[in-house]
């Protein structure tokens, strides 16, 4: 399905300095500084993921010169703990935008929701000739009641949203292909332990913030450092696999890649991903990651637009949007031709 991105919009929480605020989250701020982040974003009290997603969506619609009535489908990806259980954020975003009877769909595949959201938009257009404009909104607002934004999975969680208007046949920022790999062996890694149906309440005097997020990882690998190192190599190795698969589906190869946009991970992990694909760190989103923090499913599209605004990408450039969703565990790649 031939489609492209017409316009985007963004919305962020308030910017905070990592060095100045790390002491609020961890006992040893030096450990956090080693991740390479300078700043991150945190929403003000009372601001929800729905608020951010709707704000980004309004800006995207304005930039595309569209009204919400011109949208044929709304796709929302939310990568952190939802505002409520038994609740659909895509319908809530549609309501906030004033949509009436517009179909909506929700993706919760954490940091990989951006890729499946784009795939779903392409699939919807392929299945229905009447689907011309799709609004995709991707948002991350870290729930500090469930996780420590500076002590989870080697990143600093940041609050932000991006929205994109996708249009059938649009000649710019074309989605060429995608690839996806899942290793279900790691389904329980990095999960939030309490609050779901299996364990709705923590033991007395305990809670999610008391649980070391790496405990389940150590348990899975039997505290064997060699097994853990194999796992770490698999993370970057699978990145190369999905990039190559997406390139093959588009009839391209690695030599044609202008840039690799990974999730806004720590500097060491982004470097490992770049090395696996054979690109220098300077042709990744590493510098943007230091300023933005990890905005979950919003990372890749935010960085794509920032690179374009900075003049670092030109028409015709081939970009690999790549990510790893730790709970799962999933690897994704979507190819975009600027």
**pLDDT one-digit tens code per residue, 192-211:** 888 899 999 988 888 888 77
CB–CB of 13/159 below 8 Å? yes
- Kindly tell me the sign of the dihedral angle through the C-alpha atoms of 312, 282, 116, 61: negative
Residues 279, 287: Cα–Cα separation, whole Å: 15
Q: Would you say the pTM of this structure is higher than 0.85? A: yes
H or E segment and range at residue 180:
strand 174-182
Structural domain count, the chain? 2
Do 202 and 132 belong to one domain? Answer: no
The DSSP bridge partners found for residue 12 are: 160
- Give the CATH number, domain containing residue 309: 3.40.47.10
Do 230 and 111 belong to one domain? Answer: no
Do 238 and 155 belong to one domain? Answer: no
Final residue of a domain: which of 131, 156, 171? Answer: 171
Do 132 and 235 belong to one domain? Answer: no
Residues spanned by the domain of 263? 176-337
Residues 188, 329: Cα–Cα separation, whole Å: 9
Do 314 and 256 belong to one domain? Answer: yes
**pLDDT one-digit tens code per residue, 309-324:** 999 999 999 999 999 9
Do 84 and 70 belong to one domain? Answer: yes
Do 98 and 139 belong to one domain? Answer: yes
Would you state the structure tokens that stand for residue 105, as one six-digit string? 């769909």
Q: What are phi and psi of 197, to 5 degrees?
A: -65, -30
Do 165 and 245 belong to one domain? Answer: no
Do 151 and 190 belong to one domain? Answer: no
Would you state the structure tokens that stand for residue 129, as one six-digit string? 């000739």
Do 180 and 199 belong to one domain? Answer: yes
3-state SS class at 140: strand
Q: Tell me: pLDDT of 160 over 70.
A: yes
Which of 106-110, 138-142, 222-226, 307-311 is least confident? 222-226
**pLDDT one-digit tens code per residue, 246-300:** 999 999 999 999 999 999 999 999 999 999 999 999 999 999 999 999 999 999 9
Do 154 and 249 belong to one domain? Answer: no
Q: Tell me: pLDDT of 43 over 90.
A: yes
Do 149 and 7 belong to one domain? Answer: yes
């Amino acid at each position: 399905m031939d489609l492209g991105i017409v316009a985007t919009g963004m919305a962020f929480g308030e910017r905070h300095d990592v060095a100045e605020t790390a002491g609020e989250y961890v006992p040893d701020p030096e450990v956090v500084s080693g991740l390479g982040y300078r700043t991150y974003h945190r929403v003000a009290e009372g601001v929800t993921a729905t608020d951010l997603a709707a704000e980004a969506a309004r800006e995207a619609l304005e930039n595309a010169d569209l009204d919400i009535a011109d949208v044929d489908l709304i796709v929302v990806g939310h990568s952190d703990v939802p505002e409520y259980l038994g609740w659909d954020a895509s319908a809530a975003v549609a309501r906030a935008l004033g949509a009436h009877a517009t179909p909506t769909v929700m993706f919760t595949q954490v940091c990989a929701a951006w890729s499946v959201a784009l795939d779903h938009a392409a699939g919807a257009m392929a299945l229905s000739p009447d689907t011309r404009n799709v609004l995709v909104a991707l948002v991350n607002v870290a729930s500090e009641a469930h996780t420590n934004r500076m002590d989870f999975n080697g990143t600093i969680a940041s609050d932000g949203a991006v929205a994109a208007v996708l249009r059938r046949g649009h000649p710019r920022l074309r989605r060429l292909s995608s690839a996806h790999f899942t290793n279900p062996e790691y389904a329980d890694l990095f999960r939030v332990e309490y609050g779901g149906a299996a364990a709705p309440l923590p033991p007395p005097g305990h809670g999610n913030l008391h649980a070391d997020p790496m405990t389940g990882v150590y348990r899975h690998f039997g505290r064997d450092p060699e097994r853990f190192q194999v796992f770490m190599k698999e993370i970057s190795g699978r990145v190369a696999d999905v990039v190559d698969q997406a390139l093959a589906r588009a009839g391209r190869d690695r030599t044609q890649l202008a840039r690799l946009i990974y999730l806004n991970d720590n500097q060491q992990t982004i470097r490992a991903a770049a090395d696996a694909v054979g690109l220098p760190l300077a042709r990744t989103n590493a510098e943007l990651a230091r300023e933005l923090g990890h905005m979950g499913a919003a990372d890749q599209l935010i960085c794509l637009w920032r690179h374009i605004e900075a003049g670092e990408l030109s028409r015709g450039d081939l970009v690999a949007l790549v990510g790893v969703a730790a709970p799962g565990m999933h690897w994704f790649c979507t190819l975009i031709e600027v």
